[in-house]
Amino acid sequence: MRNQPTSTSLEAEKGRNLFLDAARTIAAWGVIAIHVPYETWGAKAFNQIFWPTCVPFFYVAGLVFFIKSVKLDNVPGLLQKQWARLMIPYICWTVIYLALRLAKGILTHDPPKIEWVAALFYGASAVHLYFLPMLLIFQALALSLILISKGQGRLKGQGVAILVIALIVFSGGYFRKYYDKGSTGYFLAVAMYLSAGFLFASRMKNGRMAKGWGLAGLAIWVAAVAMNFKGWRLTVLDCPLLLPFGGIGFFMLAASDLFQLRANRFTPFLGLSYGIYLSHVIFQEFFEFAFAKFAHGHVVYNALTKVAVTTVIFGLAMMLTLALPRLVPAAGWLFGEYRKRSPKA
């Protein structure tokens, strides 16, 4: 199944939208750029471009392809796939990042302040890991709506149960102010993501939408980025609705027939963005620690430095994503792609 940041599969699917995969890869680079510091206007410009683009785009993509994969006759199989795809990597990376934070605290003699509920259940163990539990909540809400509206008997009851669980988990994060400091407007953002997911899932054929959607998406995305530069974040009830607008527009652009890529020798690398997203903070923390320890005051984060550091971290995360599952098959669990070894002849 294709989801948000793409899988590490090195085999291109027949009819796969390679431009959408390229957009995922660009978005993964953009997430890293957001996390790299900036000290000049030129460096800050990368944050202005990618903040309303990357993670919102991943939410929309994750919802669209999940909704398209729902089959009423195989809900247990779907849940099993999502467990392997999202939950197991989330558990693994939560343990890894908590261990790294504790180790860093020992090395720097500055023990980290960890809010364990947020770290274990809402992705606060690392700066980027909130994405997985949030996407799981979005997908659970989408699945519950499908089962309640289309299912019969037991399926309808399962839909109600999933809806209740998803709302409890989501409300827990809301009341503990894990989402935009508890902003009520976040409920509007969730509604926007869900609406976009169902709409685009119904409009996509063979992983693509018509060119008109791409043109509209380009206009929406450019407008969202321009408004972010101007400081207009469309804040409603303390929530910046510019985020879902930017992600929706970028997805419409990337998923349309407006641009197309042909398969080439670099195509396999377009399938590594999920692993890059999950693992890049390891290398980011290393660079920040090294710069603070050995180059304090000597590194200026201008646009060139930001691009260089971002690209190095991106490359290291890509190599880890590509190499680790080959060297240690069980490491595939980290990227939601564990495969059993085929029996030897």
Task: Classify residue 303 by burial, with Cβ atoms within 10 Å: 0-12, 13-18, 19+.
Answer: middle
> How far is 248 from 209, CA to CA, in rounded Å?
13
* 3-state SS class at 231: coil
Residue 53 is assigned to a structural domain of this protein: yes
Number of structural domains in the chain: 1
Residue 5 is assigned to a structural domain of this protein: no
> How far is 226 from 6, CA to CA, in rounded Å?
27
8 Å CB contact between 211 and 257: yes
Query: Residue 13: its pLDDT value, please?
Result: 46
**pLDDT 10s digit of each residue in the chain, 345 long?**
334 443 333 333 456 789 999 999 999 999 999 999 999 999 999 999 999 999 999 999 999 999 999 999 989 999 999 999 999 999 999 999 999 999 988 887 888 899 999 999 999 999 999 999 999 999 999 999 999 999 888 999 999 999 999 999 998 888 888 876 657 888 999 999 999 999 999 999 888 999 999 999 999 999 999 999 999 999 998 889 999 999 999 999 999 999 888 888 888 888 899 999 999 999 998 888 787 777 666 678 899 999 999 999 999 999 999 998 888 877 888 998 754 444 343
Residue 139 is assigned to a structural domain of this protein: yes
Nearest Cα to 55, choosing from 138, 163, 120, 142? 138
Residue 42 is assigned to a structural domain of this protein: yes
Q: pLDDT tens digits, residue range 17-32?
A: 899 999 999 999 999 9
Residue 11 is assigned to a structural domain of this protein: no
8 Å CB contact between 105 and 29: no
Residue 344 is assigned to a structural domain of this protein: no
Domain with 123, as residue range(s), is 18-335
Residue 263 is assigned to a structural domain of this protein: yes
Residue 7 is assigned to a structural domain of this protein: no
Query: Residue 326: its pLDDT value, please?
Result: 84
Helices (H), 109-207: 116-121, 131-150, 154-175, 186-203
> How far is 191 from 317, CA to CA, in rounded Å?
33
Predicted TM-score of the model (pTM): 0.91
C-beta atoms surrounding 172 within 10 Å = 13
Query: Residue 180: its pLDDT value, please?
Result: 64
CA separation (Å) from 140 to 137, 167, 182, 305? 5, 9, 21, 40
C-beta atoms surrounding 7 within 10 Å = 20
